[in-house]
Structure 1
């Protein structure tokens, strides 16, 4: 991920995190970072550490599922998971990623995927998600510049609001 994409991803998460902490003072937030291995990290590590190398998106999703199994029973918690990415993923991981997103949708109130497309192209993973994930609690948004951040967050959360109204 280049510097512009990292800035947009971190800004997206910072704004989302700030909104959640302001609105829900008892919310428990977990941070997961991944390249080829997903791991739980501190807030400071999440917003400041630099990851590099190849990407297996499913590794982050699997770490989230593991964390949910260990700490957050879906019958006792409202669970929201969010992922921002430039869409780069090793092609051999795409099917695992789709399977993992569906598993997350099984246990989450909302799973949101934000793709950062600074050059106006759509990634393979975004195309795969569009084709293969048909869940009411899955929201996908795209961002190209910092002016898109609030609209992306609003659109993602709007998906949950319309689902709650049903």
Structure 2
């Protein structure tokens, strides 16, 4: 899957294989001619531009880049939000703990240990995801992409 960012603050997607980007780089094809659809998931435009400037290729409509590069950058926040939602759900269900403990002794301690294990595991995943995101965002801006983007009226964020 590919993404396209445009100077008009839009992010689009195409289900074309990622290899199409490499082919266009070699042959000079215009990926702006592909069918592009608005993304179904919301993406932070500034983040998409930062990724695109480092990993994308210019086309007639903006910058095209591989979707997984943006997904890698967004993953730490997504995992953090899911952990927070899980913790909130645990807190909401805690009112039943005394009843469950009476029915199944050890319920509370088991739940506490399970929550700690899940939190530790998710925090490790967040740290790994952050390393991946940093790798994507710490890549240098591609000069030809930056200059093409500016010529189109795009802002370097």
The TM tier, using the shorter chain, reads under 0.3
> Larger Rg: 1 or 2?
2
**TM-score, normalization: structure 1?**
0.23
Q: TM-score, normalised by structure 2?
A: 0.24
Select the structure that is richer in strand: 1
Q: Point out which structure has higher relative CO (alpha carbons under 8 A, 6+ apart).
A: 2
